[in-house]
Structure 1
Amino acid sequence: MKGIRLGDYNQLKVVKKVDFGLYLDGGDEGEILLPSRYVPEGSKVGDELTVFIYLDQEERPVATTEHPLAKVGDFAYLRVAWVNEYGAFLDWGLMKDIFCPFKEQKMRMVKDNYYIVYIKLDEESYRIMATAKVERHFAPQPPSYLPGDDVDLIVWQKTDLGFKVIIDNCYPGLVYENQVFRPLHTGDRLRGYISCMRPDGKIDVMLQPTGRQQTEEFANTLLNYLHDNGGHCNLGDKSPAELIADTFKVSKKTFKKAVGDLYRRKLITIADDGITLV
């Protein structure tokens, strides 16, 4: 579809105002309707509007100012709204649900269940569709990350080793079980940090920053906790690692380093019953 990006945001000029909405200049595709319900107040001919372009029930390009949960080229965690004899239809935040045919499903999708999918343009029909076969759509080129680089993550699936994640909407990665200090669920979006780039091209990821940066960040978190809880925390060096992880989502090692840092800066005192603000 030359001239506009189907399944993505476009900045288009208003060329005509009618009773049922606005027509926008779609270039080679001609005029594209923005229905009245989506027209920003005060819009007029000549204005440029940022709109999302997809296909309506009759497979015609249509514009909306709503924001879908994903666009073409994105991975997303979507709910199945309904199923028929051709496949599943997933709720992606727009009036028309997005189609995932049976051939693009790893297993038969079930109504109201959620699945990690990739949003793409079908090469044959040029329709926007979802596929659960996400492995086919990771970036082919190896990334140039360095250890400690911060990245955006989507939790993909639980494995025996930990959690598979999707890094920066491009690459697969793994967070090992012993690096997880909070509950994780498929579809969660969170910040992570590159641990290492393995010789086989796979990427290991952590959920906490490394070294001094991690200590400084958690020391600030601990200070905020003390300020919000009467100046006292009943955890200390002898507290169980599980209790520290449940409370602060960090390892006992990180907790002890942060406590030591705050103590050296004379911001806290340490006693058998925990730590206290000075």
Structure 2
Amino acid sequence: MTWAGPHRWLQAGLNIAIVAALLFAVSYLPPDTSLQDRRRDGILKVCVPPSYPPLITGDPSRPGFDAELADAIAKNLGLRLALNVLPSIGKDFNPRNWSLTRAQCDIIAGGVADTVQTRSFLQTLPTPAETGWVGISATGAMPPSGSTVAILPGTAGLDRLALSTWLRKQGLRAQLMRSPAELEQALNAGTVAAGITERFVAASLRLDTNALTMFWLDESISPRFRMALGLWKGDQTLKRAVADALELFEKSGVMLRLSARYGLDKDIVEPVSDPRK
């Protein structure tokens, strides 16, 4: 006969003791004062890139969806908004390489994608803005096998490997572009049969809209995902306050009006027409 009963109770007691010790240790952690600190200073610092239309435009009369949303959040919290423009944002698809600090930013906006990679670095609060791979061609569809397609990966963290594999299966030749300007020139000149880039890069291009059409690539290639506001891990009181503000904006119609103002309520943001034509 075995006497397992006492051993079971001993193990249960040990587990309870471990949990109690952890809870006791947590009680000694410093309190989260992120919201209190912002209210003491009276400023909400939001870091954004110089341009990421239509989320950030650099135009004071129409500063962009994320810029206006940040201003509404600051007012809701009784704070003054300070937009810190940092060229490092978006220079790399990994936010860890953007060289951001708490001294510069309370919130990061204008190019933060709600991906697993981003969430390993920041807390995220998704917005209605949605991104994914967008094709651009004269026919509104991908060209036949053997055609050359210009590719500009962008910085939102879309799956480049899956796109490359899909292009090979379609028999399409990929020609890597180094900048939006190079992609824009190739498409307008017709030196490539089509282009592929992320949604908000596509929205910034000055294209011949009479000759070219944007379209989503199939979600089997790359699922669409939401853009977001990024906050530092541990800033729970600030995150809750911002989340409450976003919920209020959803209910009051503020989010809907901003989405309509910047074309986010459309299926795809339309390209900017080229004034030179």
Report the TM range for the smaller structure's normalisation. under 0.3
Query: Per residue, is there more helix in 1 or in 2?
Result: 2
Q: Report the TM-score when normalising by structure 1.
A: 0.21
Q: How high is the TM-score relative to the length of structure 2?
A: 0.22
Larger % of strand: which?
Answer: 1
Q: Which has the higher contact order (CA 8 A, sep 6+)?
A: 2
The structure that has the greater radius of gyration is 1
